[in-house]
Structure 1
Amino acid sequence: MQANTVINQTTGTVSQTQTQELPFTLQDVKAAIPAECFEPSIFKSLSYFFLDVGIIAGLYAIAYNLDSWFFFPIFWVMQGTMFWALFVVGHDCGHGSFSKLKWLNNLIGHLSHIPILVPYHGWRISHRTHHGNTGNLDTDESWYPVSEEKYNRMPWYEKLFRFYLPLLAYPLYLFKRSPDRAGSHFLPSSPLFRPSEKWDIVTSSVLWVMMVGFLGVLTYQFGWVFLVKYYLVPYIIFVMWLDLVTFLHHTEDDIPWYRGEDWYFLKGALSTIDRDYGFINPIHHNIGTHVAHHIFLNMPHYHLKTATEAIKPLLGDYYRSSNEPILKSFIRSYVSCHFVPNTGSKVYYESPWKPKSK
């Protein structure tokens, strides 16, 4: 038995508490990774940001000049995917892995997130909670399972977005959060945030409102069709990408979830899975390389593949990955992952159509 490693998600400090059954510690995993993987490059990070912005601008120029309904469906998919790629850049900013400069992270984070209607600081802080509590049924923040009892008493509209329209849930999550978790990403008074984070939340929320106002001005000036063609449909595609990737990283019927003292940081961080998105991998900055990211959230995305190869021999069977086609994985998890048992410290997803106990 070894000492349990706990990470303070604010300060990054490590402490040892209770015993654990994993045959390695967080320090063991870190020692297996080349030190340079933890070093962000401002030049490299900015290059990804400007590349994404450049492609987005280029797609807009092409779509506007062609103004063809034959091209718009292609444009929507491509632009929505690039919105998602830009989100991933802001995601690195939120983790502090974009650079070691807080002001630069916040600047690029807002420039990446506000145009796609993500309140940067609100999301950053709730996502910090997710990373600090991954795999914990009681305190995780993102795509955590509900108990069977909770599932049975959920109102129909909550079930609709959570289980039957999961790829459209993100905007609702920003305003309403998730089942059994109250709060809004826009209000400083939300239980998501500390009093000291008030002005961060106010800043992002004001900028978000200004972006909504800008879209309103465009709609007033050019009409609803203009908004739908050039913004609304790509935004919906982006939301679907965000929900799909987040869902697939944490929703699998053989990934364990923990209650109470059976959970600790490293064990929870391993309750995720790497996915292969094929030719999309480099476009969305290899976000499918997720296990290493959850163990070391301050690692830039462009080092995750190297880090993953370094830790795979150490993790052994504790490392999960899938090369299954994404659509097939989504459909299988969509059908088989609805709730977990009401009791038990280590539990797995079950479904009303496909009960499964382990």
Structure 2
Amino acid sequence: MTSNLTSKPVLEREILPFTLQDVRSAIPEHCFESNAGRSLAYFFLDIGIITFLYWLAATLNSAWFFPLFWFMQGTMFWALFVVGHDCGHRSFSKYRWLNDLVGHLSHTPILVPFHGWRISHRTHHANTGNVDTDESWHPTLESQYDEMSGAGKFIRFYLFLLAYPIYLFRRSPGKTGSHFLPSSDLFRPSEKWDVITSTVCWGLMVTLLVGLGIKFGLVWLLTYYVMPYLVFVVWLDLVTYLHHTVEDMPWYRGNDWYFLKGALSTIDQDYGFFNPIHHNIGTHVAHHVFLSIPHYHLLEATEAIKPVLGEHYRVAKEPIWKTFWNSCRTCFYVSDQGSKVFYQPAKR
């Protein structure tokens, strides 16, 4: 008996020619080992430079120097964030209490709720490259793009370098919840007090800033904190954007996605002389595959995995400004259907 029913074609799952274990085996074992002393040295170095820049700005107290100070201090705020980033991944040290302590000391002064960010960032790493479940910097769907107002498109696609503070309160478009509230679906019930702790620390920092503004004036607060903070936000958004928003970067759906494929949907960027300043955060592919590698081992790990990854290893061949410009022109939305999908340019 022959059935006259026809089944729908099943999309064949694309499998990489190597496994996660193949990639791990290529990396020297010491690259996975953190050293608390070395990690703390980077933390105190950043704190020292930040302190020196504040002293220098206050001593000179010169209008010509302040714009340079804003850029340098904002860049150091970003470097300090990267130290807290290692703490969030538990690659700063083997001690959880030290990771949490330095994480708060790194993130609270720059208005990042450490645990709230740490947990949402964990979600991002667990779902990188998945159109439907990635947490941050995931693509806009074509149907969403078509429904967006002109103002919405302008904010989403042209003001995104200032998006991070909004993301902390409202997450990415299409998602709900906040990094400050333990009731958000970002968090497990067991993480309630972690989230509350970081939210309280964030609130105390805001209170301190308000107090400083009252005592020394709004201009003082803008000069010594708000402007460097905005530079930090631009750095954070720029670097994260460039890691995940490239025209030929694939995004996957459903059964076609699995962790290693998604983790390789990122790209290494070269920031020139800024690389050591912000702790080689541009070395991003190896970091996405193995979160436990401290930042000071990423360069060595990257060189080790290149032969295994072959054409699946992505590194930008153009200067940062050119990559950024090309992405801004070509990366607006992906199709609602299919996998794998790529960014498409704006509709005219």
TM-superposition CA deviations, 1:88-120 (whole Å, max 9, x none):
000000000000100000000000000000000
In structure 2, which of residues 220, 224, 227 is the aligned counterpart of residue 226 of structure 1? 220
Counterpart CA distance in 2 for 1:269 and 1:233 is 34
Match of 2:73 in 1: 79
Higher share in strand: 1
Which residue does the alignment assign to 1:13?
A: none
- Which of 62, 77, 91 is the aligned partner of 2:85? 91
2:129 pairs with 129, 135, 140, which one?
Answer: 135
- The count of aligned residue pairs is 337
For 1:349, the equivalent position in structure 2 comes to: 343
User: Match for 1:302 among 296, 301, 311?
Assistant: 296
User: Cα deviations across residues 227-277 of structure 1 (Å, max 9, x unaligned)?
Assistant: 010000000000000000000000001000001100000000000000000
Number of the residue aligned with 2:48: 54
Q: Which residue of 2 aligns with 1:329?
A: 323
Instruction: Check conservation: 2:13, 2:255, Cα contact below 8 A.
Output: no
Asked if 1:199 corresponds to 2:202, the answer is no
Task: Kindly name which structure, 1 or 2, has the bigger radius of gyration based on alpha carbons.
Answer: 2
Match in the other structure for 1:190: 184
> Aligned equivalents of 2:289 and 2:200: distance in 1?
33
Aligned identity (percent) is 66
> How far apart in 2 are the matches of 1:208 and 1:286?
27
2:287 counterpart residue number: 293
Find the aligned partners of 2:156 and 2:257 in 1 and give their Cα distance: 24
CA shift for structure 1 position 159: 2.7
Residue pair 1:337, 1:349 contacting (<8 A) in 2 also:
yes
Pairing partner for 1:100 from 94, 99, 120: 94
Partners of 2:220 and 2:14 lie apart in 1 by 57
Report deviation, 1:147. 0.8
TM-score, normalised relative to structure 2: 0.95
- Distance in 1 (CA, whole Å) between partners of 2:151 and 2:260 is 35
After superposition, the C-alpha distances for 1:110-132 in whole angstroms (9 at most, x for unaligned) are: 00000000000000000000000
Per-residue CA deviations over 1:310-336 (Å, capped at 9, x if unaligned) read: 000110000000131111111110110
Distance 1:204 1:60 in 2: 25
Report the secondary structure of 1:258's partner residue.
coil
Q: Which amino acid aligns with 2:92?
A: F
Name 1:316's counterpart in structure 2: 310
**How large is the RMSD of aligned CA atoms in angstroms?**
1.2
Alpha-carbon separation, structure 1, partners of 2:286 and 2:162: 27
Given candidates 206, 210, 220, the residue that maps to 1:216 is: 210
The answer for the alignment partner of 1:8 in structure 2 is none
Structure 1, unaligned runs of 5 or more: 1-17
1:154 matched to which residue of 2?
148
Kept after mapping to 2: 8 A contact 1:93/1:106:
yes
Instruction: Return 5+ residue gaps in structure 2 as ranges.
Output: 1-11
Runs of 4 or more, structure 1, over 4 Å off, are: none
The one-letter code sitting in structure 2 at the alignment partner of 1:300 is P
Shift of 1:161: 2.9
TM-score (norm 1): 0.92
**151-160 or 48-57: which moved more?**
151-160
Q: Is the 8 A contact 2:13 2:256 kept in 1?
A: no
Q: Secondary structure at the match of 2:276?
A: coil
Q: Separation in 2 of the partners of 1:299 and 1:250?
A: 20
Judged with a 3 Å threshold, the aligned counterparts in structure 2 of structure 1 residues 109 and 339 are, in CA distance, closer, same or farther, namely same
Q: Deviations over 1:171-196 (max 9, x none)?
A: 00000101111110000000111111
